[in-house]
A and B are shown apart, each in its own frame.
Chain A
Amino acid sequence: MTQSTSAETTKISTYLMLIVLMVLALSIVALILAVSTFAENQPLATSLLIIGFIAMAIAAYTLFQSRRRAVSMKIVAPQVMTTIECRKCGFKSVREFQRGDFVFKDLEKCQKCDDKMMITAIYKEIKEKEKTYNV
């Protein structure tokens, strides 16, 4: 597969966008017509008003859904943290993971006691709570 296919999947389809815009334009036309014919033909104006609103709602919903799909397709890299500890004085710090980090890697000297520090843990934290089922 080529790089272009990757780009295709990330954006919203042009055809879909065109259809949505056309429906949106027609719904606006229907609403304008409804306003202009309200005094002369009330039943027709009401019908146009309903059609206009429904078409606008469908267009907005389709656009929203397409955008949601495009967003959900992104691969999000979780935030991974590295815990660094000093074995001598127990000083502990947590920072973001850097390439080359590994558990039990010796690092620079401790800020407090000048002894070497070491990576003791690398992990990702999941903030949102998992849905529980009371069964």
Chain B
Amino acid sequence: MMIREVENSLYKLRHIKEEGRKIAIETIKEIGKPQTDPSARVDRYLEYFTIGPQAMDPAGIVYKLDHILDVRDSRLKDEVKLMAPASDEVQTNNLENTLEAAMALNFIYKVVRHYYIQGKKTLSLYVILQLQMILPLVMKEAEAYASALKAFAFGQPIGDGAGPLVAAKLMHGYETRKVPKDCVVATVPIENRTALIIKAEGPGGNVGKPGDAVKAVIDENEGKIASVIMIDAGLKLEGEIVGEVADGIGAAIGGPGVDQYKIEEALLEYHIPINAIIVKEDIGDAVSPMRKEISDSADKVIERVKNVILERTKEGDKVIIVGVGNTIGIGQ
């Protein structure tokens, strides 16, 4: 019974993974107009791996990891450009995100298959039992990635874009300039303060490097920043409502931790207070097309931002507002 259940889920995972591969290839053919069949290159892409830095001597590990992630990013972007030569920058970013979702599906399938075969080979009920126990969560994640794949292929905003959506709403109509890396900043007057609003450059699928952007803006202003407000999508607990807004303190940013480290380091240098506002959603909502509740919550977040600015800063102060997340389908 248990083995049958795992088997069924494995079949489903294989199907989802194959569908993901198919969607990725079709999108590349449609957008990138390659001269040759990209299937072989896509298969190679799906098997790419990244080796993290050695942690035996952890000093300086953040910058080592940052370097590895930079190399990975540029390598994958180059691959996409080779696969889809006719795609522009926005489409290249979207294709990269599509392929990364297909890569995640491929990885999930392979790991589940590994434990299933291992359990059968060793006749170990406990291996199968452990797999069966976590399968509902694994399947939920796989289904979320499958949904994300279509959103990325079409360039639709995803739930993770809650932060960039708020930032875009605040900065729309104001002049923007680029800041490192892949981010934009706009100077906007809010409640008699000067807000420097940062988000990843859209509308292509891109999270940018908010850590570098925040540091650059703080340095430009010689640390004379009254507060930093970070807006991000936050994972909700079961029972909480999707699109609910909550605020607190700390650097609201996910990922491998490099950007969070850089932001915290810059803030510590100048003793700048940091506030965070999150929009609650689950993992499925975060990577699938943006739900109406999340889109609607943007105005509530703006209200909260204004409240934080009024309560925590004085007139004439400068504040940094960062919209963290994937800006796919969101311009500025």
Q: A: which residues have CB within 8 A of B?
A: 1, 3, 5-6, 9-10, 69, 72-73, 75, 77-78, 80, 97, 99-105, 121-126, 133, 135
Given contacts A69-B8, A73-B12, contact A102 B290 (CB under 8 A): no
Chain A CB within 8 A of B150 CB:
yes
B21 CB, min distance to chain A CBs, angstroms: 7
CA distance A120 to B292 in the complex (A): 12
Q: Are B19 and A6 in contact (CB under 8 A)?
A: yes
Q: Are A72 and B12 in contact (CB under 8 A)?
A: yes
Q: Are A123 and B155 in contact (CB under 8 A)?
A: no
A125 CB, min distance to chain B CBs, angstroms: 5
Q: Are B157 and A122 in contact (CB under 8 A)?
A: yes
**1/0 contact string of B180-213 vs chain A (CB within 8 Å):** 0000000000000000000000110000000000
Residue on B nearest A106 in the bound complex, by CB: B331
Interfacial chain B residues near A103, Cβ < 8 Å: 157, 165, 168, 203, 329-331
Chain A CB within 8 A of B317 CB:
no
Residue on A nearest B14 in the bound complex, by CB: A9
Q: Are A102 and B12 in contact (CB under 8 A)?
A: no
CA distance A123 to B16 in the complex (A): 23
Residue on A nearest B164 in the bound complex, by CB: A103
Q: Are A97 and B18 in contact (CB under 8 A)?
A: no
Select which of A3, A99, A126 is within 8 A of B291 by beta carbon. A126
Q: Are B202 and A102 in contact (CB under 8 A)?
A: yes
CA distance A102 to B332 in the complex (A): 10
CA distance A126 to B155 in the complex (A): 19
Select which of A72, A104, A105, A123 is within 8 A of B295 by beta carbon. A123
Q: Are B239 and A104 in contact (CB under 8 A)?
A: no
Chain A CB within 8 A of B322 CB:
no
Chain A CB within 8 A of B146 CB:
yes
Chain A CB within 8 A of B289 CB:
yes
B27 CB, min distance to chain A CBs, angstroms: 10
Q: Are B329 and A9 in contact (CB under 8 A)?
A: no
Interfacial chain A residues near B156, Cβ < 8 Å: 80, 97, 101, 122
Q: Are A124 and B290 in contact (CB under 8 A)?
A: yes
Select which of B12, B18, B22, B332 is within 8 A of A104 by beta carbon. B332
Q: Are A75 and B330 in contact (CB under 8 A)?
A: no
Q: Are B239 and A133 in contact (CB under 8 A)?
A: yes
Q: Are B291 and A101 in contact (CB under 8 A)?
A: no
Most A Cβ at <10 Å: residue of B15, B149, B202? B15
CA distance A124 to B296 in the complex (A): 11
Interfacial chain A residues near B275, Cβ < 8 Å: none
CA distance A78 to B147 in the complex (A): 8
Select which of A10, A72, A78 is within 8 A of B289 by beta carbon. A78
Q: Are A104 and B168 in contact (CB under 8 A)?
A: yes
CA distance A135 to B147 in the complex (A): 30
Q: Are B15 and A73 in contact (CB under 8 A)?
A: yes
Between A and B, 11 residue pairs with Cβ closer than 8 Å are A1-B17, A9-B14, A9-B15, A73-B16, A78-B147, A80-B151, A102-B331, A103-B165, A123-B290, A125-B292, A135-B239
Residue on B nearest A69 in the bound complex, by CB: B8
Chain A CB within 8 A of B288 CB:
yes
Chain A CB within 8 A of B11 CB:
yes
Interfacial chain B residues near A100, Cβ < 8 Å: 155
Given contacts A99-B154, A102-B330, A122-B290, contact A10 B15 (CB under 8 A): yes
Interfacial chain A residues near B332, Cβ < 8 Å: 104
